[in-house]
Amino acid sequence: MRRRKRGTAVAAITLTSLMVLSACAKDSGGVVAGATGVAGAACEFATPPSPPATPSAGAGEQAADGDRVDGSALKIGLAFDIGGRGDASFNDLAAAGFDRAIADLGIKEENTREVSAAPNEDESVKRSRLRQLAREGFNPIIGVGFAYTESLKVVAPEFPDVRFGLVDSAVEGAANVTPLVFAEQEGAFLAGVVAAYQSRKCHVGFVGGVDIPLIRKFEAGYAQGARAAAPKVVVERKYLTPATDFTGFQDPAKGLETAKGLIDKGADVLYPAAGASGIGVFSAVKQAGVLAIGCDADQYHQPALADTRDVIVASSLKRVDVAVYDFVRAAARNDLASLPKVFDLKANGVGYATSGGRVDAKLQGIVEGFKAEIIAGRIEVADKP
Block means of pLDDT (10 residues each) for the chain, length 385 residues?
42 34 38 37 89 62 62 95 72 91 95 88 93 97 93 97 96 96 97 97 96 95 98 97 87 96 98 91 97 93 90 95 96 95 94 94 96 97 96
Q: Which of 328, 312, 331 has its CA nearest to residue 320?
A: 328
Rounded to whole angstroms, the Cα distance separating 234 from 266 reads 9
Domain match, 92 and 200 both: no
Residue 369 has phi, psi (to 5 degrees) of -65, -45
What's residue 41's pLDDT? 61
d(CA 178, CA 172): 10
Residue 166 lies in a domain: yes
Considering its fold, how many domains does the chain have in total?
2
Q: What is the pLDDT of residue 31?
A: 35
C-alpha distances in angstroms, 338 versus 105, 173, 244, 329? 17, 19, 36, 10
Among 319, 349, 328, which Cα is nearest to 77's? 328
The answer to whether residue 71 is domain-embedded is yes
Q: What is the pLDDT of residue 36?
A: 34
Q: Write down which residue in 180, 197, 225 finishes a domain.
A: 180
Backbone angles phi, psi at 59, to 5 degrees: -65, -30
Both 154 and 295 in one domain: the answer is no
Residues 6+ apart with CB under 8 A from 234: 31, 35, 36, 37, 38, 39, 202, 203, 204, 266, 267
Cβ–Cβ < 8 Å for 170, 145: no
The answer to whether residue 95 is domain-embedded is: yes
Same domain (yes/no): 236, 272: yes
Q: What is the CATH number of the domain that holds 34?
A: 3.40.50.2300
Q: Check whether residue 306 and residue 217 sit in a common domain.
A: yes
Task: Give yes or no: residues 146 and 173 share one domain.
Answer: yes
Question: Does residue 125 lie in a domain region?
Answer: yes
Same domain, 51 and 84: no
Q: Are residues 240 and 366 in the same domain?
A: yes
Q: What is the pLDDT of residue 7?
A: 42
User: In this structure, are 98 and 198 located in the same domain?
Assistant: no
The answer on 368 and 242 residing in a single domain is yes
Q: What is the pLDDT of residue 87?
A: 66
Query: 230 and 367, same structural domain?
Result: yes
- The answer to whether position 257 is within a domain reads yes
Do 256 and 228 fall into the same domain?
A: yes
Domain boundary, last residue among 125, 153, 180: 180
Final residue in a domain of this structure, among 180, 215, 247: 180
User: Up-side HSE of residue 340: CA atoms within 13 Å toward CB?
Assistant: 21
pTM: 0.82
Residue 352 in domain:
yes
Whether 71 and 175 map to the same domain: the answer is yes
Q: Classify residue 121: in a domain, yes or no.
A: yes
Give me the domain span that covers residue 291: 18-55+183-319+342-376
**CA-to-CA distance for 279 and 252, rounded, in angstroms?**
6
In a domain, 381, yes or no: no
